Amino acid sequence: MTETLARAPHAADDTRITICDPRSGELVGTLTPADADTIDDACERARSAFGSWSRTAPAARGEALAAAASVLEDHADELATLTQRETGKPFDDARGGVLAGVGTLRQYAELGPLHQGSRLAGDPSAVDYSIPEPRGVVAVITPWNDPVAIACGLIGAAVVTGNAVVHKPSERCPHVGERLGELLSPAFPPDVLRTLTGGGETGAALVSRPQVAMIAHVGSTATGERIARAAALTGAYVIRENGGNDPLIVDAGVDPTWAAQQAALGSFANSGQICTSVERIYVHDDVADAFVDALCAEAREWTSNGALGPLVDERMRDEVHRQLTESVNLGARVLVGGTIPEGPGSAYPATVVVDCTAVMPVFSEETFGPIASVQRVTSFDDAIAAASNDRYGLAATVLTPSLEHASRSAAELPVGTVKVNAVFGGAPGGSAEPRGASGSGFGFGPKLLDEMTRLKVVHMGTAEVAS
């Protein structure tokens, strides 16, 4: 377990998965991906378990989920340590992700039994109603960037509504996924929750299985599109929470230092490896000089104070650096950062790049790294137009003192979530639906319970009784 590899790949060649610590390059472990028989077996067992689990009283399903949440809470430090070793996420952030998962499981344990259909107003002599029914076997396919919280949301909502789950965690943190399954599954009857280890080929094999009634994918847009095509052949229902290329508009009149703090948080938190990271910054000319100066100071501070973890692996770092280099070749200017540091692991500095345009990769592609990419604009109208001109539609943030501009942002930006005057945050109970290349369906919140079920309408008339 202390062997150091020359490079630090998270290699998944579908014969062996090798995981190295992104901080040091040290080997964490190797795993063998599930083979075809194991995938078939997991799907078949889940389908068998589904029958009686779907008929279990929702309150009992909620109790089981609450019990699973408590087990996870008891093992928060262990899972956070494992997450840090496999993904490089700082320990406190990793622990926060595990506790977010615990909270989500508890939320669905409460909401699940309350999830209901409705009474319908038909003929007074008849009974008409609609009821939600579980779909069957749900393939839950998750990424590495917040592995426990994301998996818990999808697993919790699926299980509490009476589905059986086959979970395929990311090949970049398979030990986290495997351990999560070991901790959660004993709370449910056998085979209600199964975990499969493997990379893209394992995921592709899973989603092609006829037993799978629904696929819930959180991950990249390219994968989401592949899954949607595969599901078109099997008829499985799909929800996709995919990539983002979120804009941040910095309007005239805001405090540039505060705006720079917001931009830095949005760009550098989790080293930029969040689906709703700030990816494109449009700053009004009136505040641009002071904003960029303050953003550069923020970037230096984030790199030097230890707040920035490494990128998940060298493959990711190479991709982030490629996007930056190609953008520079097209005329962008790096003011801070932008160089690969010496030493083991996959660290990358907080970077500020200006003079960006829509054709540059840092603006046109999702950049999963700590890069704050800036373009100056001369009006709010131009900012809204540029921010809207993108194939993704996950979220957007606007920093503005103007109520009119805030309202226009909410109305005009073609994204699932609009945030005004805060890059992160939101009330519990929100369910957002991504647009465009960012996916489809509700991946979290109360509406995820609707996604995990199908509505059946029932009409009960009165029989004529034989005389």
Q: Point out which residues bind ligand NAD (CB under 6 A).
A: 141-145, 150, 168-171, 199-200, 203-204, 207, 218-220, 223, 226-227, 241-244, 275, 366, 394, 434, 443
Q: Which is nearer to ligand NAD, 252 or 437 (CB)?
A: 437
Q: In angstroms, what is the minimal distance from the CB of 206 to ligand NAD?
A: 7
Q: Which is nearer to ligand NAD, 85 or 168 (CB)?
A: 168
Q: Which is nearer to ligand NAD, 102 or 227 (CB)?
A: 227
DSSP annotation string for 248-301: EEE-TTS-HHHHHHHHHHHHHGGGG-STT-EEEEEEEHHHHHHHHHHHHHHHHH
DSSP annotation string for 10-65: -EE-SS-EEEE-TTT-BEEEEEPPP-HHHHHHHHHHHHHHHHHHHHS-HHHHHHHH
Q: Which is nearer to ligand NAD, 251 or 279 (CB)?
A: 279
Pairing status of strand 237-241 against strand 212-218: parallel
Q: In angstroms, what is the minimal distance from the CB of 255 to ligand NAD?
A: 30
Q: In angstroms, what is the minimal distance from the CB of 189 to ligand NAD?
A: 25
Q: In angstroms, what is the minimal distance from the CB of 204 to ligand NAD?
A: 4
> Residue 11 — φ and ψ, nearest 5°?
-85, 130
Helix segments in 269-402, DSSP class H: 285-304, 314-329, 361-364, 380-388
Q: Which is nearer to ligand NAD, 170 or 185 (CB)?
A: 170
> Residue 373 — φ and ψ, nearest 5°?
-105, 125
Helix, strand and coil content of the chain, in percent to the nearest 5, comes to: 45, 20, 35
Residue type, 258: W
In angstroms, the CA 398 to CA 414 distance is 13
Helix H or strand E segment including 370: none
Q: In angstroms, what is the minimal distance from the CB of 355 to ligand NAD?
A: 25
Residue type, 81: T
In angstroms, the CA 269 to CA 117 distance is 40
Residues ≥6 apart with Cβ < 8 Å to 82: 173, 175, 176, 179
Q: In angstroms, what is the minimal distance from the CB of 462 to ligand NAD?
A: 48
Q: In angstroms, what is the minimal distance from the CB of 81 to ligand NAD?
A: 21
Q: Which is nearer to ligand NAD, 206 or 352 (CB)?
A: 206
Q: Which is nearer to ligand NAD, 252 or 275 (CB)?
A: 275
Q: In angstroms, what is the minimal distance from the CB of 8 to ligand NAD?
A: 16
DSSP annotation string for 195-243: E----HHHHHHHHT-TTEEEEEEES-HHHHHHHHHHHHHHT-EEEEE--
Q: In angstroms, what is the minimal distance from the CB of 234 to ligand NAD?
A: 12
Taken in order 184, 189, 191, 193, the sign of the CA dihedral is: negative
Q: Which is nearer to ligand NAD, 225 or 382 (CB)?
A: 225
> Residue 14 — φ and ψ, nearest 5°?
65, 15
Q: In angstroms, what is the minimal distance from the CB of 425 to ligand NAD?
A: 16
Q: Which is nearer to ligand NAD, 243 or 436 (CB)?
A: 243
Q: Which residues of 142-164 are buried (b: 16+ CB within 10 A; e: fewer)?
A: bbbbbbbbbbbbbbbbbbbbbbb
Q: Which is nearer to ligand NAD, 76 or 275 (CB)?
A: 275
In angstroms, the CA 314 to CA 320 distance is 10
